[in-house]
Amino acid sequence: MKPIPLDILKTYWGYEQFKPSQELAVDSILGQKDTCVFLPTGGGKSICFQVPALVEPGICIVISPLVALMQDQVENLKSRGIKAQLLKSGMSYVEVDQRLDNCIYGNYKFLYLSPERLRQELVRERIRKMNVNFIAVDEAHCISQWGHDFRPAYREIHLLKELQPGISIIALTATATEQVKQDIITELELEDPAVISESFRRPNIALLTDFTADKMNALYSQLNTATENSIVYVRNRSACTELSEFLNKKGLRSTYFHGGISQTDKQKKLANWLKEDVPIMIATNAFGMGIDKANVRQVIHYHLPESLESYYQEAGRAGRDGKPAKAIVLFNESDKQRLKNQFIKTIPSFEAVQKVYKALMSNFRIAYGEGENEVFDFNFYEFCSHYKLHTILTYNTLNLLDRLSVISLNKSFQKKAKLKFSVSSKAVIDFIDSHSQFALLIRTILRTYGGVFDNELTLNTQLIKKKTGYNDKEVFAQLEALEKHGILSAEFIKQDLSITFILPREDKYTLNPLKKYVNHYQTNKLQKAEMVLLYIEEKRLCLQSFILKYFGEKESKPCGKCSVCLAAQAKRNPKSASKYQDLNRFILEELKQSNLSSKELSLKSKYPKEALLESLQQLLESGKIRLESNNTYSFNL
Q: Per-domain residue ranges for the chain?
A: 5-197, 205-331, 342-412+498-525, 414-495, 573-635
CATH number of 205-331: 3.40.50.300
Is 411 in contact with 387 (CB distance < 8 Å)? no
Mean pLDDT of the 606-617 span: 77
pLDDT at 621: 64
For residue 579, name the pLDDT band (cuts at 50, 70, 90): low
* More reliable by pLDDT, 491 or 16: 16
pLDDT at 299: 96
For residue 165, name the pLDDT band (cuts at 50, 70, 90): very high
Instruction: Say how far residue 617 (Cα) sits from the centre of its chain.
Output: 33
Q: Is 146 exposed, middle or buried (0-12, 13-18, 19+ CB in 10 A)?
A: middle
Which CATH architecture does the domain made up of 5-197 adopt? 3-Layer(aba) Sandwich (3.40)
Residue 584, pLDDT above cutoff 60: yes
pTM over cut 0.75: no
Q: Is 396 exposed, middle or buried (0-12, 13-18, 19+ CB in 10 A)?
A: buried
Residue 276, pLDDT above cutoff 80: yes
Mind listing the pLDDT tens digit for each residue in 205-228? Answer: 999 999 888 888 889 888 887 778
Least confident range from 6-20, 268-282, 324-338, 455-469: namely 455-469
Alpha carbon distance 396, 522 (integer Å): 11
Alpha carbon distance 85, 78 (integer Å): 9
Mind listing the pLDDT tens digit for each residue in 589-605? Answer: 899 989 988 888 888 88
Mean pLDDT of the 305-315 span: 92
- If you classify domain 573-635 with CATH, what class do you get? mainly alpha
| Extended strands (E) in 10-156 | 35-38, 59-63, 84-86, 110-113, 132-137
Residue 401, pLDDT above cutoff 90: yes
**Phi, psi values for residue 321, rounded to 5°:** -85, 0
* More reliable by pLDDT, 169 or 148: 169
CATH 1.10.10.10 fits 342-412+498-525, yes or no: yes
Angle at 397 between CA 337 and CA 330, to 5 degrees: 30
Mean pLDDT of the 338-349 span: 83
Q: Smallest Cα–Cα separation from 602: which of 618, 621, 583, 620?
A: 583
Mean pLDDT for all residues in the chain? 88
Mean pLDDT of the 473-491 span: 88
Angle at 108 between CA 466 and CA 126, to 5 degrees: 100
Least confident range from 127-136, 340-349, 368-377: namely 340-349
DSSP 159: G
Alpha carbon distance 48, 309 (integer Å): 22
| Extended strands (E) in 234-293 | 254-257, 280-283
Domains 342-412+498-525 and 573-635 equal at CATH topology level: yes
Q: Where are the alpha helices (DSSP H) in 487-542?
A: 508-511, 515-537
Residue 311, pLDDT above cutoff 70: yes
For residue 462, name the pLDDT band (cuts at 50, 70, 90): confident
Mean pLDDT of the 308-321 span: 92
Alpha carbon distance 290, 44 (integer Å): 11
